Amino acid sequence: MDSRHFAQARRGATLHLVPDAGKESAGKESAGVDETPGSRSFKRYPLWRVLGLNGLTVAHYLVGCGAILIAYRSYPILGWPIGLAYFVFAVVQLYVLTPLVVCPGCVYRTVRGGRCASGLNLISARLCSPSPGAMGFEERSHGVICESSLCLWSLVLPVPLALPGLALSFSWLALALMVAVAVLTVIRLAVVVRRATCPHCLARRWCPVVRAGQSA
């Protein structure tokens, strides 16, 4: 995100993304909705959407961890370290790393009362200051270990991690959980992100992930 965007985002209304404070009716959830024609951006995502997305995310991580543990049930000395390492990686990359390295440069950190789809701007606000020099949306999607890649890895990693355990001692339950991880990943990427989160995000006009999806 460049500094020009940061300055514009701070003003909000200039971008025609954020409703004027005077138009907001205090205390109402609808106050966070930009009703600009052709756009329906959430300055403040409804709480049920935020809780639903985070519930889905944590459930995904738990199912993935469970798949690994059960796949290695005959070799717990392998299964527990791998399963727990996966879970810690998934949680830390999303709830610590993202708020520290990506969110500080996001428009949601500059909008008063804003709440993004995942609510991570609120965590970020407790961890660090907003920064126009923070990793922007461009960097977020570049490289194998960029934040977007880490986020994707956190969704799919349980499958390759559990496969060796499944080969060592087959388990229908472990296989079912691995299939569940794959299905959850597809649902998340094809339905939840594309329809429920990105289309309403204030940052979508700058987000390279959204742009890539539109040009794909």
- Minimum CB separation from ligand SF4 for residue 202, in Å? 8
114/158 with CB nearer ligand SF4: 114
In the complex, minimum distance from the CB of residue 33 to ligand SF4, in angstroms, rounded to a whole number: 16
DSSP, collapsed to helix, strand or coil, labels residue 3 as helix
**Beta carbon of residue 159, minimum distance to ligand SF4 (angstroms, whole number):** 25
Shortest distance (Å) from residue 193 CB to ligand SF4: 11
Minimum CB distance to ligand SF4 smaller for 31 or for 125: 125
Residue closer to ligand SF4, measured from CB, 67 or 107: 107
Closest distance of CB 102 from ligand SF4, Å: 5
- 172-187 and 147-156 are packed helices; what angle lies between their axes, rounded to 10 degrees? 140
Residues ≥6 apart with Cβ < 8 Å to 125: 109
Closest CA to 188 of 91, 46, 55, 92: 55
Q: Which residues bind ligand SF4 (CB under 6 A)?
A: 98, 102-103, 106, 108, 116, 118, 120-121, 124, 201, 203
Q: Which two tokens stand for residue 43?
A: 């300055």
Nearest CA to 137 out of 106, 93, 97 is that of: 106
CB of 70 to ligand SF4, least distance (A): 31
What is the residue whose two structure tokens read 């954020």? 18
Nearest residue (CB) to ligand SF4, 1 versus 157? 1
Token couple for 79: 């299964």
* Minimum CB distance to ligand SF4 smaller for 102 or for 174: 102
| Contact by Cβ (8 Å): 181, 156 | yes
Q: How far apart are CA 169 and CA 211, in angstroms?
A: 43
How does 100-127 read in b/e, with b if 16+ C-beta sit within 10 Å?
bbbbbbbbbbbbeebbbbbbbbbbbbee
Comparison of 86 and 108: residue with beta carbon closer to ligand SF4: 108
